[in-house]
Amino acid sequence: MALRNLIIILVLTGLSGFTHAGKVYKWIDENGATQYSQKPPPKSVDTSSEVNVGQHANLMKPEKRGKKYYCGDYQLPRMRGNPANIISRLQENLISWQREKERQYEQRLNVTKRMNESISRSIDRRIKYNGRGGSSSSYTDSHKKNLRRYDRTIAQIDCKIKWGQTKLEEYADEKKSIAAKYESSMGMLNDLQQRKIATCGQDNREGVIVVDNEYRAYQRCTRQFDQQIRRLKRESKKAERDYESIQGW
């Protein structure tokens, strides 16, 4: 067996207990965001690339400690407030956690690349000096430690993302209710405004208004609608804010 092949086998054997390399697909989705998955991307995606990462797929699950829940070292946020605020915060957290996961993946890939380059240099030295070249084991061990740290961090992020997605699913009915309330309040306001015009007509006078019997009759007619319109405007404004706050997902 050639010396280079023997060295490669020895090096890979020494690393086999650590790498547990898995296949991960990387692609750009329709929103321009970088996605990672152990499953192939949708058929609609034109191109993708495969990256090797450690299988941190020993899926971490939320753990209760006292009254709080944790994903590893990370304390999960407590969901308080009305459903619209909770849904909005969950959506913001999920976007932030996904970006954090992408950064950790990229940094882990860089560490893997540097470790592979170090191993390659060590192999070249051993070949050059007939198996007596220096070893880069301490340098490689440092990379291994960093990779384990990234694996744990990514596992924690995966745990947070799964927890957030589960929470969002629990609020699916509330999300539909918020949208329905917004549409209903806007519809009621529009209907009432149309009834006011149909009943009282429109006052198209401009400039200085002469308060005559016709104008007084118009005011009496509109008064019965105006109070309800003001109330519906307040309600529809709040419903609109709640509706807009949950549109981030």
Q: Which band of pLDDT confidence, cut at 50, 70 and 90, is reported for residue 217?
A: confident
Which pLDDT value is given to residue 39?
A: 63
Burial of 19 (0-12, 13-18, 19+ CB in 10 A): middle
* Residue 50 clears pLDDT 90, i.e. is over it: no
* Residue 24 clears pLDDT 90, i.e. is over it: no
Domain ranges of the chain: 3-8+19-170, 175-202+210-245
Highest averaged pLDDT of the listed ranges 8-17, 111-120, 139-148, 176-185:
176-185
Q: Which residue has the higher pLDDT, 2 or 88?
A: 88
Query: CB-side exposure of 228: number of CA atoms within 13 Å?
Result: 14
Give the H or E element holding residue 37.
strand 34-37
pTM above 0.75, yes or no: no
Q: Kindly give, in sequence order, each residue whose CB lies less than 8 Å from that of residue 20, ignoring residues fewer than 6 positions away.
A: 54, 55
Tokens of 227: 């109070």
* Residue 25 clears pLDDT 70, i.e. is over it: no
Which pLDDT value is given to residue 246?
A: 85
- Lowest-pLDDT range, 55-64, 73-82, 133-142, 153-162? 133-142
Tokens of 65: 């400690």
Which pLDDT value is given to residue 245?
A: 84
Query: CB-side exposure of 25: number of CA atoms within 13 Å?
Result: 14
Q: Which band of pLDDT confidence, cut at 50, 70 and 90, is reported for residue 130?
A: low
